[in-house]
Structure 1
Amino acid sequence: MKALHPFALLPFLIFLLLSTDNASGYGHGEALHGDALALLSLKASLSCRPHVLRSWLPGNVASVCEWTGVRCAGGRVVSVDIANMNVSTGAPVTAEVTGFAALANLSLAGNGIVGAVVVSALPELRYVNVSGNQLGGGLDGWDFPSLPSLEVFDAYDNNFSSSLPPGVTALARLRYLDLGGNYFSGVIPASYGGMLALEYLSLNGNNLQGAIPPELGNLTSLRELYLGYYNAFDGGIPAELGRLRNLTMLDVSNCGLTGSIPSELGGLASLDTLFLHTNQLTGEIPPELGHLTALTRLDLSNNALTGEVPSTLASLTSLRLLNLFLNRLHGPVPDFVAALPLLETLQLFMNNFTGRVPAGLGANAALRLVDLSSNRLTGMIPEMLCSSGELHTAILMNNFLFGPIPGPLGSCASLTRVRFGHNYLNGTIPAGFLYLPRLNLLELQNNLLSGPVPSNPSPTLAGSQLAQLNLSNNLLSGPLPAALANLSALQTLLVSNNRLAGAVPPEVGELRLLVKLDLSGNELSGPIPEAIGRCGQLTYIDLSTNNLSGPIPEAIAGIRVLNYLNLSRNQLEESIPAAIGAMSSLTAADFSYNDLSGQLPDTGQLRYLNETAFAGNPRLCGPVLNRPCNISSDTGGSTAVSPRRATAGDYKLVFALGLLACSVVFAVAAVLRARSYRGGPDGAWRFTAFHKVDFGIAEVIECMKDGNVVGRGGAGVVYAGRARSGGAIAVKRLNGGGRHDHGFRAEIRTLGSIRHRNIVRLLAFCTNDREANVLVYEYMGGGSLGEVLHGKGGGFLAWDRRYRIALEAARGLCYLHHDCSPMIVHRDVKSNNILLGDDLEAHVADFGLAKFLRSGSGGGAANAGASECMSAVAGSYGYIAPEYAYTLRVDEKSDVYSFGVVLLELVTGRRPVGDFGEGVDIVQWAKRVTDGRRESVPKVVDRRLSTVPMDEVSHLFFVSMLCVQENSVERPTMREVVQMLSEFPRHASSQPSPSSASSSSAPEPEKEPNCYKLFPDLLN
């Protein structure tokens, strides 16, 4: 048979191809129509926001491949990507994605979808991303075996709970698995070690427990492994992880690991990053880690590692970050750290390092951050620390460094933060140091620096960013330079306890952003400049212990947010201006030991101060001092009495005094009778009143009945009672039996002497020999803050009232911490111990667990108390500071943490525990949901608040985050909290309006609150 020419079949082949294509097109069209219907079903099940996915319409099915986020290939939908389109309305949904035979890519990420999304029967699906939503429940509804092609599964940042899904182990092709940022509990299944194709595994940020399974060492294809953050594993790091030879990232930080660092990790030759920080690891740093020559970041900080830094780490020449801080390492800072050519970040603070700082530090690498603080280092600050010109943070405080500050630092234009305080540095401050263009924080306090405060070497300086300057406790002399006015961004100026002389420069009035001014303990003279009144954001002024003279400027009263004023131990004259006396913002003031005269204003906060605030001014008078003013026209305002003839009024006065004497006799008799009262078998009761009261021990005992119980707590039972006049009192019977030691009685007397409008008054104290101590307080008719916020059927507070409660309660705690001697630490700050009066004004209450701390000698805030070790943890679950729970050591910062929790309650309307899953409290939840970002705060705001000023809400949330820092040193003092909360003028007054109306019409503040700059480290 004759062979056919190849071209003879061409017409037939063309016909065949056209026929096949037409048939295929018909089939694809029908399948594509089915895909479109499935997409419309998905849109309906997601309950999308209006105007979202507008192109997804039933009448537009023919153009499905042109719909938003949809991509087709081969006549089928192969990709649906609607990530970050703000799809969700916030209503819970149940959505199922199924029926797409050709779908390879699915992304619903970043839409805040609430409820459940289930994916099944998608045989071609290779990529699925549902991260950044609020999906809950477990993943048991997902039919993983019906997704045989899946390679990437990203479910990060949702609300998934229950156990980790075992079904993912059926995905033979899975390369990327991210289940982090959820609430998964239980253990990591050992079967996860069988997913041999995995290259990326993240389980961090969950509630996982148990041990890290050694089977994970079988994942030899793994390149990145994240297991830390909020998990709480038992045991240590499995040595089997040393078999992951392809691993470039290993992060098992902050998950409770114990034991030592396995030397087997030294075999991870490809490792770029090793993060083991914030665990409880012990032992020495393995020298085998020196084999990780590809390592660029090594963080072993916040553990309990001991020994010296091994010399083998000198081979880590690619290292850019070395963090070993918060351990128990000792020995010298090794010289090789100065030779690492790429090192940018070196943090070794809070160890026991000794010896000198390596002299060449900064000479061979572009150092950007150096923190060697809180060690025992000696020697001098390296001359070449900023030789690269890129150093932005230098922290060497709390060491034994001596010698001068290197001159080149005065021209290091890249510096933003410098903390050299608490050393033995001497010499002068380098010219230009204070005026560096990017410098935000400069601390040189507690050194031996001498010479003048330098003037600006460049008068044309513009754009200074310095916000905090602390030169206190040095030997500086000379005048304060007028050039300080160039530091226009300055918010904190502390120059106390030096030898400065001359006048306070009026240019200080140009520092319009100044929040805290402390010039105390110098030799300054002349008048207080009127210009200080132009510093409208000042909350703290201390000019005490100088030689200032003249009158107190009335302009100070124009500073509406001022809450601390100390002018004591000067030579000030004339009277205290009435306008200052009327200031409602003052929580503390001291005018003692001057030459002030005249009548003391009896309005505003001054009437709540102790007499010691006015001591040493014999010519001051007024009811507050129990020193009457008999002022005549010719005495020039003195308290001398002019001779005159007796009048009928004098005889009336004598008669009234006689009646008063009789009343006193009867009152004494009543008290003696009350003290002799016997309460049956309990023995003799003793009654001590701290105020003028119209009740005695009989009324107190009468009200201690079960029918009068209004509250029970860890410290005792609270009863409601009545005085003889019918007025209400609150009686608290303390648990634990009678305590009669002199120390306890002294503490009770101190509590009884408290006079502050935001602290519930302790009216009386009763005790007997056998049973109990009983405290009698004024009764608060508005109930507790906890009841109002969380009570069943109770009303809820509008935002304006919540903010005021926060400020008022802060003022009460500020008084306890900073104006009581000894300092009082409450130890049980919580919303149930903040009581509301009939006008809803806040009062700190319940001192059943209060502890008195003697002054410490640390370098902290004034009046700081030394921490004291308790025999057991006291307080309420959810409010207890971490260091108190772990170490039993308590100080005022423990109260600050608890108050931060109260602020979170005010913002979120949630209880501290119980609403977030087992083991999660409100602090962990808030940090996780917002990630510390202000723009995320709306996610946690109480949904009962319909309209709120988000600037104030974000501000209050930010202050709460400062208060609940894990490291107590980083928390603000209560005085600083009051300062920060006072930054919104409409709340700064302590005279609240009884109205709880919504504050949606409140004016917006003109500028960002100061605290965002006072604590720059905590901003993202």
Structure 2
Amino acid sequence: MEIKAALVDQMDHLEGWQGNATTACEWKGVSCNAAGRVEELSLAGLNLTGSLSPAVGFLTALTNLSVEQNNFTGTLPGAIANLTRLRFLNVSNNNFSYSFPAGFGALTKLEMLDTYNNNFSGPLPEELAVLPALEHLHLGGSYFEGSIPPSYGNISSLKYLALSGNSLTGRIPAELGNLNLLEGLYLGYFNVYDDGIPPELGKLKNLVRLDLGGCQLTGGIPAELGNLESLDTLFLQFNELTGSIPLGLGNLSNLKSLDTSLNQMSGAIPPDFYKLQKLELLSLFGNQLMSGPIPDFIAALPNLQVLHLWGNQFTGSIPANLGNSTKLIMVDLSNNSLSGVIPPYLCNGALQRLILQINQLSGPIPDSIGSCRSLEYLRLGHNQLNGTIPAALLGLTNLSFLELLDNHLEGPIPQGFINVPRLSRLDLSDNLLDGVLPSNIGSLQSMQYLALTGNRFSGSIPSDIGLLSVLNTVDLSRNYFTGGIPPEIGLCSQLSDLDLSSNQLTAEIPEELSHLPVLAYLNLSRNLLKGPIPEELEDLQTLNIVDFSYNNLSGPIPVSGTFQFFNYSSYVGNPGLCGPQNIIPAGSSACDSPKSTAYPMRSAPHRGGKAAPIAWIVGGLFAAALIVLLVGVCCFFNKYQWYISSILAKDKSIRPWKLTAFQRLNFSANHVLGCLSEDNIIGRGGAGTVYKGEMPDGENIAVKRLPGKATTKGFSHDHGFSAEIQTLGKIRHRNIVRLLGCCSNHETNLLVYEYMPYGSLGEILHGKNHVLLVWNTRYEIALQAAKGLAYLHHDCQPAILHRDVKSNNILLDSNLEAHVADFGLAKLLQNSGTSQSMSSISGSYGYIAPEYAYTLKVNEKSDIYSFGVVLMELITGKRPIEQEFGEGVDIVQWVRGKIQNKDMGVEVLDSRLGSKSLPLQEIMLVLRVALLCTSDLPVDRPTMREVVQMLQDVKPSSNDTKNVSSKPSTPNRKKGVTLSIV
């Protein structure tokens, strides 16, 4: 009952814990032995909060204690050391913090200790090395620091050791090679080791899984690893390993998964790999494997399912029998220098993804690819393929992504794609295709991206195109289409980009284009269009770029709405057009007056006249009055807010305050309330007011004050309080701001965070906080923030959507390390990769992904778009919306326009970065990541995990300008391998 008193059981799972000791053995989670003593206490997954009481130390007959998957905070009770009969202890997936308690060396019968995913800090507990029965030790996913104790190599009974995901440094002890019974060893991810892989690990004869990924290992792969005859998984990815893959790894006859991707390895695939008959995954991408062919024996590996060799230097032909005797599911050989033909046996009935783009492949697309019923994703672009598109290819019912661009394909598009219901992207650009566009194109109900530019298509554009309800981008430019623009295209309500330029289209521009509410890019140039530019297009507030040049258009040029920002280049080559002198095309004449016949059905206010000065005067007076009113409201609000703060601080008896701690706190609710004064305000925003406070022990905290849960007209709203508690209360990551606790008295909610001295990234980049961020610092901030978001998207179950990623929600600590903050809009995504519908648009202007604005659906790709905007802020130093961009133009569109010039985007760089010794190649590669993140189509955006990989791949060199923080510089890595292929 003392244990129950120390915890909070919100779901009443333990309501049956009542009565006396004689009934305790019947309580939920409690099991007793024959003598009536409690020998098992299992509280796993009950959503309990609070702390684990030291009273647990009185249950001295316990053999099994399990409290995993709860929200316990504070310290792990040292009284557990009294449980000398304990065999199994699992406290994983909680929020225990501070140092690991002493005394556990007394648990001589302990067989399993699992502390995964907590907040422990300090050194690893060395006394565990004396436990004679310990078989399973998992200390990963915390903040342990220092080096791995060499004495861990003395735990002779150990079968499983996981220390990954901490802050460990030093070397991997060679003594770990003495663990003869070890089956699983996990040491990577966030740990950073000074040296390479100890050859002594080759002595672990029983090792089944070795995971050393992502810990900056250097040197080569020891040949001694070839002695691990029981090994089925070897993960060495995301390191800085060099040299060649050693001969001898082919002796790993039980190996199923091998990943050495994203290193700096060279040489060839060892010839003894033919012996890896159980191999299912071979991932060597992103290295520098020497030019030469992919060995033929790769095609003979009978169990191979995933083959990732992209981003290397392979030449020659793809093995002719690849797929003939394997169970291939995914093949990615892109971004090499492969030649020859595509093998005919790639599809064996299981192939889902085939990516061969950016090579020198020739010959036709095999008919067998067209019969690959399991195929979902096909990218063959940027090769030299010829022949026709196999008729069956556009009849694959599972196909969702098809790219054949930049080849030499010819002939018509097969009519069969009425049977491709899932196809969302079709890119056949820059080929020699001809014929007409199939009339049944409207059957592609999932189509979002359609690009046929640079071919020889003719005939009319089918009216069925209006049936594509989710269509986002259409590019039919540089063809021979004739006839008119089908009015039905106005039914494509999600269309944002429409390019019909360089065709032979006639007739008038249909006014139905004005029905496209999110149209941002419209290019109808170099056609034979006639008649006026429809007046209704002025209503399209989302238009950023228009081009009507080189047609036979006539009549007035629109000047209202966004049209007032388009210059003469949008209309040149249309002698019949007329308009104001500032945008009049060369060779055209200005319209004489508002009543001219050139302005049919136009009213005088569009063109000014005598009423215009009066309108300006009235408008100016109204604006001035509005400003005075707003200033008055702001002054009243500030005074009112100060009054409320004073009441909260001085009269604490209005409602009792409750402080809920998520870790051990050395202060009370009264100390938190003492921070709520006008002098302590450090920020105000739509989510509340933020105060800085100093606690009795000298610790600084940040307190965010939110309105309490109010009910208005039957609707309840707690201003993001529940969202932040549910989110930050359950997660932990070094790049996510720590929620220390929360206070509430029903009228007001207070969130207590760790204090970030440098404030937000947005304040530093755009505000008065004059801290000069050199490039190396900006890069580190970008990488750290990406890691925090990747944790939310990929490591949380269920995945968490932030929904308000912006520079003002990235906070910087005393070392200028980034922490993602403000989870007031966060949502849990039960099924990763799916979308959730929102009742309204939430987020910050300039950061909102385009598809969210018109579908009200969000998934991980919405956060990724917003992060791409943050990357652009770091590179340009500009806000997402600046006056210099022009009306309706945001930073994404501005950057896209600037990078088209010969300087490749150099002019977008923040002038504060200077120009001396600036690593332009690195900055341009990060800019490339930003452009990928802000792709119009969600499917074109990388995942956050891929963003982290790409950013890691462009680390600034060690001779870059010194970081203003005290963090050590990181070694330089190869550049461009990942970026060039996404």
TM over 0.5: yes
Does 2:77 align with 1:113? no
Instruction: Give the Cα–Cα distance (whole angstroms) in 2 for the partners of residues 635 and 406 of structure 1.
Output: 61
Structure 1 residues 48, 324: closer, same or farther in 2, change over 3 A? same
Preserved contact between residue 250 and residue 273 of structure 2 (Cα < 8 Å): yes
Structure 1 residues 610, 369: closer, same or farther in 2, change over 3 A? same
Instruction: Give the Cα–Cα distance (whole angstroms) in 1 for the partners of residues 503 and 769 of structure 2.
Output: 38
Does 2:104 align with 1:201? no
Counterpart of 1:914 in structure 2 is: 813
Correspondent of 1:85 among 13, 35, 46:
46
Counterpart of 1:521 in structure 2 is: 478
Instruction: Give the Cα–Cα distance (whole angstroms) in 1 for the partners of residues 522 and 719 of structure 2.
Output: 27
Counterpart of 2:352 in structure 1 is: 392
Correspondent of 1:831 among 756, 762, 769:
762
* CA-to-aligned-CA distance 1:569-617 (integer Å, 9 cap, x gap): 2222223223322212223322222233333333322223343223333
For structure 1, the 5+ residue unaligned runs are 1-39, 640-648, 657-727, 729-781, 802-828, 837-843, 850-871, 886-901, 939-943, 979-986, 991-1008
Correspondent of 2:592 among 624, 630, 638:
630
Structure 1 residues 625, 835: closer, same or farther in 2, change over 3 A? farther
Correspondent of 1:360 among 315, 321, 328:
321
Structure 1 residues 883, 328: closer, same or farther in 2, change over 3 A? farther
Q: Aligned AA for 2:401?
A: L
Preserved contact between residue 470 and residue 493 of structure 1 (Cα < 8 Å): yes
Does 2:518 align with 1:619? no
Counterpart of 1:344 in structure 2 is: 305
Task: Measure how far apart 1:629 and its partner are.
Answer: 2.6
Instruction: Give the Cα–Cα distance (whole angstroms) in 1 for the partners of residues 718 and 217 of structure 2.
Output: 42
Preserved contact between residue 501 and residue 525 of structure 2 (Cα < 8 Å): yes
For structure 2, the 5+ residue unaligned runs are 585-589, 602-607, 614-630, 632-681, 693-702, 708-716, 721-759, 788-800, 837-841, 882-889, 894-934, 947-982
Instruction: Give the Cα–Cα distance (whole angstroms) in 1 for the partners of residues 832 and 345 of structure 2.
Output: 38
CA RMSD of aligned residues (A): 4.6
TM-score normalised by L of structure 1: 0.64
Instruction: Give the Cα–Cα distance (whole angstroms) in 1 for the partners of residues 471 and 380 of structure 2.
Output: 22
Structure 1 residues 637, 786: closer, same or farther in 2, change over 3 A? closer
* CA-to-aligned-CA distance 1:472-514 (integer Å, 9 cap, x gap): 1111111111222222111111111111111111111111111
Correspondent of 2:8 among 47, 60, 69:
47
Task: Measure how far apart 1:167 and its partner are.
Answer: 2.8
Counterpart of 2:733 in structure 1 is: none
Does 2:6 align with 1:104? no
* CA-to-aligned-CA distance 1:522-579 (integer Å, 9 cap, x gap): 1111111111111111122111221222222222222212222222222222232233
Task: Measure how far apart 1:182 and its partner are.
Answer: 1.7
Counterpart of 1:464 in structure 2 is: 421
* CA-to-aligned-CA distance 1:28-86 (integer Å, 9 cap, x gap): xxxxxxxxxxxx211221222252311112x3643222211222221122211121122
Instruction: Give the Cα–Cα distance (whole angstroms) in 1 for the partners of residues 572 and 832 of structure 2.
Output: 46
Preserved contact between residue 429 and residue 453 of structure 2 (Cα < 8 Å): yes
Counterpart of 1:876 in structure 2 is: 778
* CA-to-aligned-CA distance 1:436-457 (integer Å, 9 cap, x gap): 1111111101111111111117
Instruction: Give the Cα–Cα distance (whole angstroms) in 2 for the partners of residues 409 and 176 of structure 1.
Output: 47
Task: Measure how far apart 1:908 and its partner are.
Answer: 11
Q: Aligned AA for 1:832?
A: E
Structure 1 residues 783, 934: closer, same or farther in 2, change over 3 A? same
Instruction: Give the Cα–Cα distance (whole angstroms) in 1 for the partners of residues 104 and 369 of structure 2.
Output: 61
Q: Aligned AA for 1:545?
A: S
Preserved contact between residue 879 and residue 912 of structure 1 (Cα < 8 Å): no
Instruction: Give the Cα–Cα distance (whole angstroms) in 1 for the partners of residues 214 and 170 of structure 2.
Output: 15
Question: Tell me, what secondary structure is at the counterpart of 2:93?
Answer: coil
Question: Tell me, what secondary structure is at the counterpart of 2:127?
Answer: helix
Correspondent of 2:522 among 554, 560, 565:
565
Instruction: Give the Cα–Cα distance (whole angstroms) in 1 for the partners of residues 152 and 415 of structure 2.
Output: 65
Counterpart of 1:671 in structure 2 is: none
Counterpart of 2:560 in structure 1 is: 603
Does 2:143 align with 1:166? no
Q: Aligned AA for 1:562?
A: L
* CA-to-aligned-CA distance 1:369-424 (integer Å, 9 cap, x gap): 111000000000001111x2111111100000000000111111000111100000
Structure 1 residues 554, 1015: closer, same or farther in 2, change over 3 A? same
Structure 1 residues 878, 603: closer, same or farther in 2, change over 3 A? farther
Question: Tell me, what secondary structure is at the counterpart of 1:485?
Answer: helix
Instruction: Give the Cα–Cα distance (whole angstroms) in 1 for the partners of residues 424 and 261 of structure 2.
Output: 29
Correspondent of 1:531 among 473, 481, 488:
488
Q: Which moved more, 1:202-211 or 1:111-120?
A: 111-120
Structure 1 residues 572, 954: closer, same or farther in 2, change over 3 A? closer
Task: Measure how far apart 1:789 and its partner are.
Answer: 8.9
Structure 1 residues 77, 158: closer, same or farther in 2, change over 3 A? same
* CA-to-aligned-CA distance 1:70-128 (integer Å, 9 cap, x gap): 2222112221112112222xx67766631112111111111132333323311111111
Preserved contact between residue 224 and residue 247 of structure 1 (Cα < 8 Å): yes
Instruction: Give the Cα–Cα distance (whole angstroms) in 1 for the partners of residues 322 and 258 of structure 2.
Output: 18
Instruction: Give the Cα–Cα distance (whole angstroms) in 2 for the partners of residues 789 and 553 of structure 1.
Output: 51
Preserved contact between residue 435 and residue 464 of structure 1 (Cα < 8 Å): no
Structure 1 residues 410, 799: closer, same or farther in 2, change over 3 A? farther
Counting only pairs closer than 5 Å after superposition, residues 502-521 of structure 1 correspond to structure 2 as: 502-521=459-478
Q: Aligned AA for 1:960?
A: D
Task: Measure how far apart 1:137 and its partner are.
Answer: 1.7
Question: Tell me, what secondary structure is at the counterpart of 1:620?
Answer: strand
Structure 1 residues 621, 456: closer, same or farther in 2, change over 3 A? same
Does 2:112 align with 1:181? no
Structure 1 residues 1015, 509: closer, same or farther in 2, change over 3 A? same
Correspondent of 2:365 among 405, 411, 414:
405
Q: Aligned AA for 1:55?
A: G
Correspondent of 1:593 among 539, 550, 565:
550
Instruction: Give the Cα–Cα distance (whole angstroms) in 2 for the partners of residues 883 and 422 of structure 1.
Output: 33
Does 2:541 align with 1:579? no
Does 2:115 align with 1:155? yes
Counterpart of 1:295 in structure 2 is: 255
Instruction: Give the Cα–Cα distance (whole angstroms) in 1 for the partners of residues 451 and 393 of structure 2.
Output: 16
Structure 1 residues 171, 448: closer, same or farther in 2, change over 3 A? same
Q: Aligned AA for 2:491?
A: R
Q: Aligned AA for 1:876?
A: R
Structure 1 residues 112, 580: closer, same or farther in 2, change over 3 A? farther
Instruction: Give the Cα–Cα distance (whole angstroms) in 2 for the partners of residues 931 and 575 of structure 1.
Output: 48
TM-score normalised by L of structure 2: 0.66
Does 2:516 align with 1:556? no
Preserved contact between residue 934 and residue 954 of structure 1 (Cα < 8 Å): no
Task: Measure how far apart 1:957 and its partner are.
Answer: 5.5
Counterpart of 1:215 in structure 2 is: 175
Structure 1 residues 276, 335: closer, same or farther in 2, change over 3 A? same
Preserved contact between residue 600 and residue 624 of structure 1 (Cα < 8 Å): no
Structure 1 residues 92, 130: closer, same or farther in 2, change over 3 A? closer
Task: Measure how far apart 1:905 and its partner are.
Answer: 6.5
Instruction: Give the Cα–Cα distance (whole angstroms) in 2 for the partners of residues 489 and 547 of structure 1.
Output: 28
Counting only pairs closer than 5 Å after superposition, residues 543-942 of structure 1 correspond to structure 2 as: 543-623=500-580, 625-627=582-584, 628-631=590-593, 635=597, 637=599, 831-832=762-763, 873=775, 876=778, 878-880=780-782, 906=805, 910-914=809-813, 921-922=819-820
Instruction: Give the Cα–Cα distance (whole angstroms) in 2 for the partners of residues 345 and 245 of structure 1.
Output: 27
Structure 1 residues 138, 604: closer, same or farther in 2, change over 3 A? farther
Instruction: Give the Cα–Cα distance (whole angstroms) in 2 for the partners of residues 376 and 626 of structure 1.
Output: 49
Instruction: Give the Cα–Cα distance (whole angstroms) in 2 for the partners of residues 100 and 271 of structure 1.
Output: 41
Task: Measure how far apart 1:848 and its partner are.
Answer: 11
Instruction: Give the Cα–Cα distance (whole angstroms) in 2 for the partners of residues 937 and 230 of structure 1.
Output: 30
Preserved contact between residue 194 and residue 218 of structure 1 (Cα < 8 Å): yes
Question: Tell me, what secondary structure is at the counterpart of 2:450?
Answer: strand
Counterpart of 1:375 in structure 2 is: 336
Preserved contact between residue 607 and residue 624 of structure 1 (Cα < 8 Å): no
Preserved contact between residue 257 and residue 281 of structure 2 (Cα < 8 Å): yes
> Which structure has the higher relative contact order (CA within 8 Å, separation 6+)?
2
